[in-house]
Structure 1
Amino acid sequence: MIRVRNRVLLLLVVTGVSNLARAQHEGHAGHGEHSGMSVTRSGVVMNENRDRLPNGCDAISREQHFEIHAGRTYANDRPGIIYGMSQHEVKVEPCARVTIDFVNEDETRHQWMVHGLPKYLYPAGMFHIEAMGGERQSGTFIVPAEDRNYLIHCDMAQHMEKGMRGQLVVGKGGGDLWAVTGITDAFRRSSYLPQKVAMTFLLVAALAFSITIVCRKRRA
């Protein structure tokens, strides 16, 4: 049933993505932009770019390949989050051609999206990979020449807030983004403790309480 539900969701996603890509294409007619969209049974890739160089790039500087896993497993021992990725920070060279193999280890859909890219190459300034539950999806894009940090996240409802937030660091970067899981602090620190720390605290508290009771009985 889960697989059937995922296939139905994929059809709905494809329809929505197709409409978005068509609207973007019509809205930018004559500007040489393209959606670079591909759809398979495993997921969707939008704004893929394998050959168009960003301004300031004379050639592809390097081919860089990353396999990034997503799922609940990667949220273990992290306070206040539910989802995570095997790599929340991706470092690349300026003008590199970057291929992402995105592996979804959960049953729910996950996305790997980059925001802030040049809009003359990437409509809406984004590169987008979506993988259905238990599937793998790959996509390729070329990063700009400037040293900068770009937001990576999953755009499914509440997934970014629940831990799927990262950063793409091009060259020397332009400064860490806030609330990158495992990298930087959030604006509001979570009040939850990792499970092991919480258990240790409870054991120490229980031991201290027991010692206090024993001491009082001896004095009595």
Structure 2
Amino acid sequence: MTRQNFIPRIQKLSGASLYLLLLAAASPGAAMMKHGNMMMDETGMIMNANADNLPRDCKEISEDVDIVIRAGHKHAQKFPGKMFAFDRQEWNVKPCSRINITFINDDQIRHQMMIHGLPGYLYPDGMVHLELYGQGELKASLIVPSRPKTYLVHCEIPQHMEKGMKAQLKVDGGDGDLPSIPGISEPVTPDVYPVAWSQTTWIALIVSLTMGLAAPIIGGFWLNKRLQAKKLSTKDSA
């Protein structure tokens, strides 16, 4: 093959490859790679989503429920001592509901939304899993069984649940509250921040309070003196 024939062929192949890449990127089916019960791409993953298969104790879908679940640091600000949280800590649905979840991560770090305790014959490992590697949004559905039950909703990334990212999903009123749900139930192990009140600690506290109270008084007195001196200087100049 001559050089003159080789170069046009390379250009033609490059153009065709670019076209195929653009076509694949634009294709909805290429948005997420699917492997068994898992779908994933560079932004996140979904595991065990189920929008069609009924639990054994459900004859039909009772209703469709659309739920938006937001995760992030700002949602923990209403809970003292917590670092992460969902925007809500409880959801109630009817038996055999199909729940259409929109999961939104408001942070620049990984967060998960996992629901545990679901029937294993329909949901491998008894769970549904949505995960985002940073800010973004995912959508997935699941169908809950008919019996009253409270399901755990949490983030399984180390220390995220312990720091507040925990909630509960109740079907038909649930079967009670789970422990350690922020704002709903008492923690199993309360956060304790002990202070050793030694003589040194008391002295440091008193000094800090004294300085904190004295600073604005001294500052105000100094500022008042400066203003008076400036007024006198202005009068003398006149």
User: Given that residues 36 and 49 in structure 1 are in contact (C-alpha distance below 8 angstroms), is that contact kept between their aligned partners in structure 2?
Assistant: no
User: Post-superposition shift, 1:55?
Assistant: 1.3
Q: Which has the larger radius of gyration?
A: 2
Q: Which structure has greater helix proportion?
A: 2
One-letter amino acid matched to 1:61: S
User: Post-superposition shift, 1:123?
Assistant: 0.4
One-letter amino acid matched to 1:165: K
One-letter amino acid matched to 2:109: T
User: Which residue in 2 is equivalent to 1:142?
Assistant: 143
Q: Which has the higher contact order (CA 8 A, sep 6+)?
A: 1
Q: Distance in 2 between matches of 1:123 and 1:158?
A: 24
Instruction: Please state if 1:181 is matched with 2:179.
Output: no
User: Which residue in 1 is equivalent to 2:26?
Assistant: none
User: Which residue in 2 is equivalent to 1:73?
Assistant: 74
User: Given that residues 131 and 137 in structure 1 are in contact (C-alpha distance below 8 angstroms), is that contact kept between their aligned partners in structure 2?
Assistant: yes
1:98-109 alignment runs, 5 A limit: 98-109=99-110
One-letter amino acid matched to 2:75: Y
User: Post-superposition shift, 1:188?
Assistant: 2.3
SS of residue in 2 equivalent to 1:136: strand
Q: Distance in 2 between matches of 1:139 and 1:126?
A: 13
SS of residue in 2 equivalent to 1:74: helix
Q: Distance in 2 between matches of 1:147 and 1:90?
A: 13
Percentage of pairs with the same residue: 41
In structure 1, the gaps of 5 or more residues are 1-17, 23-34, 193-201, 211-220
Q: Distance in 1 between matches of 2:78 and 2:94?
A: 31
User: Which residue in 2 is equivalent to 1:46?
Assistant: 47
Instruction: Please state if 1:166 is matched with 2:177.
Output: no
Runs of 4+ in 1 over 2 A off after TM superposition: 188-192
Q: Please give the TM-score of this superposition, normalised by the length of structure 2.
A: 0.65
Q: Distance in 2 between matches of 1:41 and 1:98?
A: 25
SS of residue in 1 equivalent to 2:182: coil
User: Post-superposition shift, 1:127?
Assistant: 0.5
User: Post-superposition shift, 1:182?
Assistant: 1.5
Q: Distance in 1 between matches of 2:43 and 2:63?
A: 28
Q: Distance in 2 between matches of 1:68 and 1:118?
A: 22
Summarize deviations over 1:22-42 as a string: whole Å, max 9, x none: 8xxxxxxxxxxxx53221333
Q: Distance in 1 between matches of 2:86 and 2:173?
A: 23
User: Which residue in 1 is equivalent to 2:25?
Assistant: none
User: Which residue in 1 is equivalent to 2:58?
Assistant: 57
Q: Please give the TM-score of this superposition, normalised by the length of structure 1.
A: 0.70
Q: Distance in 1 between matches of 2:163 and 2:67?
A: 23
Instruction: Please state if 1:110 is matched with 2:116.
Output: no
One-letter amino acid matched to 2:80: P
User: Given that residues 116 and 151 in structure 1 are in contact (C-alpha distance below 8 angstroms), is that contact kept between their aligned partners in structure 2?
Assistant: yes
Question: For the aligned residues, what is the CA RMSD?
Answer: 2.2
In structure 2, the gaps of 5 or more residues are 1-32, 194-204, 214-238
User: Given that residues 55 and 145 in structure 1 are in contact (C-alpha distance below 8 angstroms), is that contact kept between their aligned partners in structure 2?
Assistant: no
